[in-house]
Structure 1
Amino acid sequence: MHHLKVDPDIKLDFQDVLIRPRRSKLKSRSEVDLFCEYTFKNSKKTCKCIPLVASNMDTIGTFEMAAALSKQGLMTAVHKYYCAEEWKSFAQENPEALNFVTISSGTSEDDIKRLSGILHEVPGIFGVTLDIANGYQDSFPDTISRVRDEFPNHAIVAGNVVTGELVEI
């Protein structure tokens, strides 16, 4: 039997945090630039986008959403229910959108085989979202390493985690 390990130290939530405004030289909201440039630690891929990602839920992370959001510089974590043929069709019809999408995958052996097959067919996909409800499972870091080793040129987004301990993997 496994015992739940809970850290008893005090933690803060979003309700406990205030993003404190500062003075700005901007004279108008129209001068605000939401684009950020981010380089992923391991793949060294760089993304210049608005740092919002449409969720990989099956009704949100769709090809239609990805095509529309990519035109505005936003990312989409495309859900894991599209097959390789659907991905190839999307890539042919929306080649510019590939720079703003990640392909979602679970962590089972079948999930990783599916992921590998699609990434070999459509190598231009920006990155991979490894989606698991509890990123604290002992096997999760090994899955991340395996995907990183097989696809070193793809950015990897992995979770769900809430502490810096696993963000560093």
Structure 2
Amino acid sequence: MHMDTHEYLDFEDVLIKPRRSPINSRQEVDLTRSFKTKSGLVLNGVGVVAANMDGVGTFSMAKALAQEKMFTALHKFYTLEQWVEFARDNAAILPYVFVTIGTSEAELENLERILETIPILTNICVDVANGYSAHFLPHVARVREKFPDKVLMAGNVVGAEMSEALVQAGADIVKVGIGPGSVCTTRKMTGVGVPQFSAIVECAQAAHALGALVCGDGGCACVGDIAKAIAGGGFCDAGGDVGRAC
């Protein structure tokens, strides 16, 4: 057994140390950015993503967050008919949403139908609880091959090695986090995971070196944790309580 003696930190273990700034008020701060992806597309907005949980990543959430130029990873249970209706009435919101799938063949086929019907959709999220499963990297590579002109976010992983592998398989954004969510039992039931702040920092360093981005998925118990996730190098996937509060 190899024991990693490196110190790993969670959001509650760190604070952002202030520095002198020319900004006089928080009202002067503009969080919008242009995130250039490896696929050549640019995501314009605030680096916060509502998680693809069925109670969080909803059409109504997408409408609300898009007004603030934030993103939503829609949950994978919407039908093609529901997508068509949403797209027809909310074309301006579509750059701020991700179409989510898992790794099943049926979900990939459904993704193909959605993107063929609504080609102006540009963002895909491939989501599994454990990105270390043997079938995951080939699946991500297959999605990239089918959709070379889309932004591809994939995960979840918690370390540099798999972040690099995901980027090499075609991911534009590496989704980071195993078990950090407030309602997630992964760590208690399996003993698996890495404290979320350190996971974001490590994955961000690896992904950024290859020209990719990261999205910290989960663990944000308060708004300040979103700031810490962004400071650590990532988009912030606002799941759990924060996602519902947005």
Q: Tell which has more relative contact order, 1 or 2 (C-alpha 8 A, sep 6+).
A: 2
Question: Larger C-alpha radius of gyration, 1 or 2?
Answer: 1
Gaps of 5+ in 2: 167-246
Partner of 2:129: 133
Q: Give, in whole Å, the separation in 2 of the partners of 1:35 and 1:63.
A: 22
Q: Give, in whole Å, the separation in 1 of the partners of 2:64 and 2:85.
A: 16
User: Do the aligned partners of 1:74 and 1:100 also contact (CA within 8 Å) in 2?
Assistant: yes
* 1:90 paired to 2:86: yes
* 1:25 paired to 2:22: yes
Query: Matches of residues 20-169 of structure 1 in structure 2 within 5 Å?
Result: 20-41=17-38, 43-168=39-164, 169=166
Secondary structure at 1:146 match in 2: helix
Q: Give, in whole Å, the separation in 1 of the partners of 2:69 and 2:160.
A: 27
Gaps of 5+ in 1: none
Q: CA deviation at 1:6?
A: 6.7
Q: Give, in whole Å, the separation in 2 of the partners of 1:83 and 1:74.
A: 23
Size of the aligned set, in residue pairs, is: 164
Secondary structure at 1:160 match in 2: strand
1:123 counterpart letter in structure 2: P
Deviating more after overlay: 76-85 vs 16-25: 16-25
Partner of 2:214: none
Q: Give, in whole Å, the separation in 2 of the partners of 1:11 and 1:113.
A: 43
Q: Give, in whole Å, the separation in 2 of the partners of 1:6 and 1:54.
A: 36
Q: Give, in whole Å, the separation in 1 of the partners of 2:75 and 2:7.
A: 31
User: Do the aligned partners of 1:100 and 1:126 also contact (CA within 8 Å) in 2?
Assistant: no
User: Do the aligned partners of 1:37 and 1:48 also contact (CA within 8 Å) in 2?
Assistant: yes
Q: CA deviation at 1:74?
A: 0.5
Runs of 4+ in 1 over 3 A off after TM superposition: 15-18
- Point out the structure with the larger helix share: 2
Question: Residues 21, 106 of structure 1: CA spacing in aligned structure 2 closer, same or farther, 3 A cutoff?
Answer: same
Q: CA deviation at 1:21?
A: 2.0
Q: Give, in whole Å, the separation in 1 of the partners of 2:129 and 2:112.
A: 21
Percent of aligned positions that are identical: 40
2:21 counterpart letter in structure 1: S
